Amino acid sequence: MKLIVGLGNPGRKYEDTRHNIGFKVIDQLSEKLGIELDNKKFNGIYGKKNIEGESIFLLKPYTYMNLSGESVRPIMDYFDIPLEDLLVVYDDLDLPVGKIRLRQKGSAGGHNGIKSLIAHLNSQDFKRIRIGVDRPPSGMSVPDYVLSRFRKEEEDQIKNAVNKSAAASEKWINTPFLEVMNEFNQ
């Protein structure tokens, strides 16, 4: 069993914001793998499909970013998904726009969605793909920045990062994560 979670905020208002990059990856995986996101439960929307003998779950928490753990923990408990089979995709201010970084575990690094996951899972030992959105420009607050849209000149980099993150997530279905890290870390 594998659970791939993309972090973001529900609603059209947040659709193309920096904070919703995790949702973009889940949308792409949904389309590519033919996993319909048609189940509304666990404070989110999810889909499930068997691929090569493996049950694959895709989840978009609808709790809003800062409460992501309230969606992830219940689905893991209900389907008895072990922590080592969780992969979380989210935005990261500490990476340049479009850069991706795969990690096997780590701290929240100031990310409230990850803080919520760590609190609800009682562990920071879960796999993640961080997608760089860069730091806010001088004078702009972090909340305003992560809820802003990408600039025109950043769109190609973000599209590339979403593509790579989706490809890495898909590869993880039947490849050890360490190998996926070695291939996709830039």
Is 90 exceeded by the pLDDT of residue 74? yes
- From the annotation, which residues make up the binding site for tRNA? 14, 64, 66, 112
Q: In the structure, what pLDDT confidence band is assigned to residue 134 with cuts at 50, 70 and 90?
A: very high
Residues annotated catalytic, as ranges: 19
pTM of the model: 0.96
The domain limits of the chain are 2-184
Q: Which amino acid is at 38?
A: D
**Cβ atoms of 172 and 104 closer than 8 Å:** no
Give the Cα separation of 22 and 5 in Å (integer): 8
pLDDT at 186: 63
pLDDT at 52: 86
Give, in words, the CATH class of 2-184: alpha beta
What is the share, in percent, of the chain residues with pLDDT greater than 70? Answer: 99
In the three-class reduction of DSSP (H, G, I as helix; E, B as strand; rest coil), residue 28 is classed as helix
